[in-house]
Structure 1
């Protein structure tokens, strides 16, 4: 099992994913507003794990360039379909991962990873690659489910069972404290850690980190 199986899972579920409602809409809007405040009109932005492009379509009009990437070609195809509703010359969609992007080609002022880091199979290896893609003092902005902080029944029973029958993707298990340690170890300073959930804590910390 590896990235090919991950891509296959998301290709297979892409249409269902595209029609699923955002569970905490107010929390999502808060994340968008907070991210907008961190981006500038001259910024070059990379989004990893963009899915069907919902966030990219909301943010791309406010920066110089926005490259939205995903491991799933089917997700990217749906994102391109959604883009036909409005012209966004700054926005490009590509089937890519952090592993396949070349740091020397272009460096970004900000890299976004929403609902992304728990899906990568090598978190300690992926974070330095994100670091290399950023310009000096660039920002890495993430909002990540920390499965290790969730109900033990979810991480020990429900997720493994769903994965076994092909109903759930790979998900790394780590706590928010561990995630912060990995981010710092990759060469970042954490500037802020926030909870954007509108009811309680959904164990998805919104983290703003700056490249050292």
Structure 2
């Protein structure tokens, strides 16, 4: 893979996900809430699926798909231990090199795993190819401003202690990037929207403990390989402002929805082709730009 798109240490990501198979129960409420919100999108469609691939589901997605009557579910993960415990037919794989033939599945669900992929556009292209025509893709991954409080506190603390910065929180995409990524990968009817899960911690160090338990520690290749100063994390924790309710931590998740192109699939209307004014459909009065509504 070209150096230009090598952002993460994938070996380290795999090792941390392997260890997290025995510790992620500590953050089960957060993982369960994220999975439930993602699968809510699946309940919005009347389409029935028979062959599903779930990526990175941590034992939450495959059982939920089976409970919805999907008879064949493959559970894939970068870490073999996670794949074995996920609940479907286990496959250990690299999300950047999917080993499936074209049209193998009519549903692909990726829950909180694709944010560790170096070439996200390329991974999305492979997922789209693995889908049969009119197959559905659902994914959830963190986006900005997730963990912004932690990112700022660590930056300030490290700057004070070492006079410089190194990346300590993973880079995340922005919500506005989501639909464009799907469209670039060839998906039809691309949609990206956000889900916020508000978190509060009695102690800021609890957030760091949760990230370790989930296998979500820093795996950026450009990270500082030196042992962090002993005072770094306590100083950063002191910089994270809280109140009587605790220390807030932003967790914003982008949900990506796209369909594999198919003949006869609904398509967005051509701009300017509407025959009815929106104001008329809503039973209201249309006002020009800058015009103030009358009494």
* TM norm structure 1: 0.74
Instruction: Tell me the residue number matched to 1:44.
Output: 51
Bigger radius of gyration among the two: 2
C-alpha displacement of 1:41: 4.5
Aligned length: 192
Q: 2:116 aligns with which of 114, 119, 123?
A: 119
What does 1:1-212 correspond to in 2, within 5 Å? Answer: 2-23=9-30, 28-38=35-45, 40-51=47-58, 53-61=59-67, 62-79=69-86, 91-104=88-101, 107-146=104-143, 148-150=144-146, 152-155=148-151, 158=154, 171-197=170-196, 202-212=251-261
Q: Distance in 1 between matches of 2:57 and 2:139?
A: 12
Post-superposition shift, 1:174?
Answer: 1.4
1:109·1:138 contact (CA, 8 Å) conserved in 2?
Answer: yes
Residues 157 and 34 of structure 1: CA distance in aligned 2, closer, same or farther (over 3 Å): same
What secondary structure sits across from 1:66 in the alignment?
A: strand
Deviations 1:105-127 (A, max 9, x none): 75211111111221212112211
Runs (5+) with no aligned partner, structure 1: 84-90, 162-168
Aligned residues of 2:38 and 2:138 also touching (Cα < 8 A) = no
SS in 2 for 1:111: strand
In 1: Cα distance, 2:11 partner to 2:112 partner: 19
Superposition TM-score, scaled by structure 2 size: 0.55
Q: Residues 106 and 133 of structure 1 are in contact (CA less than 8 Å); yes or no, is this contact kept in structure 2?
A: yes
Secondary structure (helix, strand or coil) at the match of 1:118 reads helix
Cα distance between partner residues in 1 of 2:190 and 2:102: 27
Which stretches in structure 2 are left out of the alignment for 5+ residues?
A: 1-7, 158-167, 200-249, 262-295
Task: Classify the secondary structure of the residue corresponding to 1:176.
Answer: coil
Distance (whole Å) between structure 1 residues aligned to residue 43 and residue 73 of structure 2: 13
Is residue 178–residue 192 contact of structure 2 (8 Å, CA) maintained in 1? Answer: no
CA contact 2:96–2:122 (8 Å) conserved in 1: no
Structure 2 CA distance for aligned equivalents of residues 77 and 24 of structure 1: 18
For residue 4 of structure 1, report the CA deviation from its aligned partner. 1.9
CA contact (8 A) 1:24 1:197 kept: no
Shift of 1:131: 1.2
1:128–1:186 Cα contact (<8 Å) kept: yes
Decide whether the 8 Å contact of 1:149 with 1:174 is kept in 2: no
